[in-house]
Amino acid sequence: MAERPHDPEAGSSLPVDFAARNGWDREYETYSDFDLPIYVGPSTFQKLPWVTDPAELRARRVDAAIVGAPFDDAVSHRPGARFGPRAIREANYGSGSLNSLQLDVEPLVELVVVDAGDANVVPAWTERAHALIYRKVREVAETGAIPFVLGGDHSITWPSATAVAEVRRPGSVGMVHFDAHADTANDDWGVLAGHGTPMRRLIESGAIAGRNFVQVGLRGYWPPPSTFAWMKEQGLRWHLMREIEERGAEAVIADAIAEALDGPDYVYLSLDIDVIDPGLAPGTGTPEPGGMLTREVLRAIRQIVGQVELAGMDVVEVSPPYDHAETTAMAANRAVLEALSALAVKKRDGRRVRWEVGAERS
Ligand code: MN
Ligand code: MN
């Protein structure tokens, strides 16, 4: 307004309508928490409802549920991944019913997606954290929702993939594992439950068979030949970064899909964000130069989830303290959205997405 309202009686005890005086009494449209800008309101994944009660997950017939696993006491190098779930949840400027330009679908409209909250984790107690991550993921998966687990360091894949494989029995689950590292060490300086060992624990325990394990993006200087020998004995299959450079990601992923489905009914997808080049995703614990492009990884996720029956997914090793421009958390957020969008296309096409408990293998 051109002039400020001035009331000579201001300061007197007469009742004054300050809202009217200041121009604050007009009608404004208000918005639901879901449609407000992303930085306003609750900080759940894409501001989806926070639903932690399994009975409620069942009642809503949830297709996909976000689960936080904020644990990083098993790292061998840089810490910080305990802050990953919160950062991944927040790493998007968009809110409301997102529209995937890649897949021409609105994933959060087509699917029932909620944020099922975090595993009941406390610091400095690895065994307890793994037990409670196992229980949380299992509790969610048993409702039929596909768990999307946000790490956390990569050790959380041991309890998480175990829980998913157990729920899907008597069917079997294959693993597609994106990582710069194989994570198949016997131990990290004597510790069996480190973030360099989860894949060996999964295979040794029988949760996922070695021959159903496919690794993509390995590079750099680890593991040593003795560990590769063990991997070979177990029937693991792996695709080095070198192969992606030579053949292109799409051809390599097509092979990885065929290998993961060579026997198993379902696939668990584990994405160590360090498979992406640290120039693009620096916020991680053990960065290894020379990795995949973000766009290659996002395309690979669409390719895989569109073709397999997804039983669960995790995104791990996002370490916000090293993520100076939040590009790592954004890549992780989009990795989840790309998988959700691929699931949404399936649901729209009448294909199965959520797990009907007790359903026989397809
Ligand atoms: Mn890893
Ligand atoms: Mn790694």
Q: CATH number, domain at 208?
A: 3.40.800.10
**Distance from residue 36's CA to the centre of ligand 2 (Å):** 36
| Closest ligand to residue 185's CA | 1
* Residue 49, domain member (yes or no): yes
Query: Each residue of 276-306: pLDDT tens digit?
Result: 999 999 999 999 999 999 999 999 999 999 9
Report how far ligand 2's centroid is from the alpha carbon of 343 (Å): 26
Q: How far apart are CA 31 and CA 10, in angstroms?
A: 35
**Please, which pLDDT band fits residue 361 given cuts at 50, 70 and 90?**
very low
Question: Does residue 47 sit within a domain?
Answer: yes
For ligand 2, the distance from its centroid to the CA atom of residue 334, given in whole angstroms, is: 19
> Scanning the structure block, which residue is given the tokens 């569109």?
306
Looking at residue 294, what is its pLDDT? Answer: 98
Structural element, H or E, at residue 159? helix 157-167
The ligand whose atoms approach the alpha carbon of 195 most closely is 1
Question: CA-based Rg of the chain, rounded to a whole angstrom?
Answer: 23
Q: Which two tokens stand for residue 344?
A: 């949404």
* Domain count of the fold of the chain: 1
Considering only residues 6 and 345, tell me which one the structure prediction assigns the higher pLDDT.
345
Ligand nearest, relative to CA of residue 196: 1
Using the mean position of ligand 1's atoms as its centre, give its distance from the Cα of residue 83 in Å. Answer: 17
Query: Is residue 8, in this structure, part of any structural domain at all?
Result: no
In a domain, residue 257? The reply is: yes
Give residue 225 CA to ligand 2 midpoint distance, Å: 17
Q: 12 or 180, which is more confident?
A: 180
Q: Report the alpha-carbon angle 128-207-267, nearest 5.
A: 110
Structure tokens at 41: 């309101």
CA distance 34 to 45: 10
Q: What pLDDT is recorded for position 322?
A: 98
Q: Is residue 91 part of a domain?
A: yes
* Nearby residues of 88 by Cβ (< 8 Å), 6 or more positions away: 45, 150, 315, 318, 329, 332, 333, 336
149-178 burial, b at 16+ Cβ within 10 Å, e below that, comes to: bbbbbbbbbbbbbbbbbebbeebbbbbbbb
31 C-alpha to ligand 1 centroid (Å): 40
pLDDT tens-place string over residues 85-94: 999 999 999 9
* 333 located within any domain: yes
User: 359 pLDDT exceeds 80?
Assistant: no
pLDDT digits (tens, 9 = 90+) for 167-183: 999 999 999 999 999 99
| C-alpha of residue 148 to centroid of ligand 1, in Å | 16
Mean per-residue pLDDT, 154-168: 98
* Structural domain range at position 154: 31-348
Rounded Cα distance between 360 and 280, Å, is 42
Nearest to 260 by CA among 232, 237, 229, 287: 237
Q: State phi, psi for 315 to the nearest 5 degrees.
A: -130, 115
Residue 357 lies in a domain: no
Cα-based angle 355, 357, 358 (whole degrees, multiple of 5)? 125
Cis peptide leading into residue 79 (ω within 30°): no
How far is the centre of ligand 2, averaged over its atoms, from the C-alpha of 221 (Å)? 12
Q: Ligand 1 mean position to 190 CA, how many Å?
A: 18
pLDDT at residue 8 above 80?
no
Asked if residue 353 is part of any domain, the answer here is no
What span, in angstroms and rounded, lies between the C-alpha atoms of 289 and 285? 13
Whether residue 101 is predicted with pLDDT greater than 50 in this model: the reply is: yes
The number of the ligand nearest the C-alpha atom of 218 reads 2
Which residue is associated with the tokens 């407000």? Answer: 36
User: 271 by DSSP, 3-state: which?
Assistant: strand
CB 292 within 8 A of CB 241: yes
Q: What is the pTM (predicted TM-score) of this model?
A: 0.94
Contact at 8 Å (CB) between 214 and 190?
Answer: no
Q: Are 228 and 250 in contact (CB under 8 A)?
A: no
